[in-house]
Amino acid sequence: MTLISYDPSNGLVLGEVSVVDQDKINATIAHAKLQQLSWRQTPIHERSRIISQAFKALIPFQDELAELLCKEMGKSLDRGTGEVRGALFSGSYYAAEAAKALAPHTDGSGVQYRPLGVCAVISPWNYPLAMAVNLFVPALVAGNTVVFKPSEETPLIAERFIRLLNQYLPEGILNILHGDGEVGSAIVAHESIDLIAFTGSQAVGKKIMASAAPSLKRLIMELGGNDPMIVLEDANIKAAAQFAVASSFENAGQMCTSTERIYVAESISSEFIQEVTALASQYSLGCWNEPHADIGPIINAKQVRKIQSHIDDALSKGAHLLLGGHAVEDRFIEPTVISGITREMAMEQQETFGPVVAISTFQTVSEAIERANDSTYGLGAVVFGKQDAQHVAAQLEAGMIGINKGPGGNGDSPWVGAKQSGFGFHGSLQGHRQFAQMTVVS
């Protein structure tokens, strides 16, 4: 059985990979478990060096990888190139930082960080290299071996990337298995999997958690967002509008920290909406290799229909369409601006994951905070304003909060979600340690 990969901008076949069966899953995990016995005996700084050098060795391939990523996922060439370069840098950087984080403590506490065993990594299609690297590098540095299942939407870039890396890594420490959700379920349920690192939907995360419960497998999960943005009446309107449009449209809105819900003070709403609509109207649709295209295709027809259903639902319940609002060729969604969003609309309650600026107004700051927090999600949040911005940020329920900028922190900050957007976290010294077993020897 094969998994066919398509160019989302035109539906043309790009290639295919073999889908694994249960026997292949069993054999791969057994091999990873065996190889882990020797990998864990390799000193941590040697593991770090090997991984870092492997990523550096891929620099000559970055243009090839970027083109394949763009064709398969649909993002523009500059963004795809940025992701590849960022992944190669992060792989080497995280290898070094994880080695520091996981070294035994020298303060007399006896704290050590030991490998857990075999780690299952399941990553999404919207950032197919960046999200995977963030998970499997600290897992490997910790002395675990990895069984990696990429998204079935982007198998080719994952296959090529892992094959290249494995030319420079010890055999069997980083393994790739292709398939859909059934394959992912079989991997996470396997008795020899000790840790599951997952980035994806809230619904799948809950299934993984249930599957992990009988054997209490360790979990590190980022489960999407429905990020709010609050624009206070003393905000820099132009800067706030620029961020709102850029964040809502980045990667065609297919980003877990995209701005999904905007609450703007009534007193400045007309000016803000006018500025947003003018900026959004300058965006154009196009394929990955069209230099003037700002918004690429949606990953598949199912996601196009979901976005369109959210737009139609909002309009049927009284929202106002100010720009766009339609699917094009069942592959693209026009840059869209909608105002008058209310609680009853799917666009407020769920993750739309498309190029839509969804705006609502508020009269009191407490109302804005309450609506921003009225969600099971809690990945990112943003506040634009001056006098009360810090006060508002302190009351928002999210793992990452940006004041007059996007969420996500600076440098090696953790990538963390609150509420049902996260279980555990990764990135930073503390995040790297979640890929290991803390042990106290006295």
Active-site residue list: 222, 256
Amino acid type, 284: S
82 membership: H or E segment, kind and range: helix 77-102
Amino acid type, 144: N
Distance CA 337, CA 328 (A): 16
Rounded-to-10 torsion of CA 189, 192, 195, 200: -30
Q: Residue 301 in 3-state DSSP?
A: helix
The C-alpha angle with vertex 153 and arms to 401 and 213, in degrees rounded to 5, equals 65
What lies within 8 Å, CB to CB, of 146 at 6+ separation is: 32, 118, 119, 120, 121, 136, 139, 140, 173, 174, 175
Number of Cβ within a 10 Å radius of residue 162 = 18
Q: Which two tokens stand for residue 168?
A: 């420079």
Q: Which two tokens stand for residue 329?
A: 């060729």
Distance CA 53, CA 115 (A): 21
Q: Which two tokens stand for residue 30?
A: 């057994």
Q: Which two tokens stand for residue 130?
A: 């960046």
Number of Cβ within a 10 Å radius of residue 370 = 13
Q: Which two tokens stand for residue 442?
A: 């006295």
Distance CA 161, CA 167 (A): 10
CA 149 from chain centre, in angstroms, equals: 15
Phi, psi of 101, rounded to the nearest 5 degrees: -65, -35
| CB-side neighbour CA atoms (13 Å) of 135 | 32
DSSP secondary structure code for residue 433 in this structure: G
What lies within 8 Å, CB to CB, of 342 at 6+ separation is: 317, 318, 319, 348, 360
Looking at 14-76, list the stretches that DSSP marks H as alpha helix, in order from N- to C-terminal side. 22-39, 44-57, 62-73
Amino acid type, 46: E
Number of Cβ within a 10 Å radius of residue 48 = 24
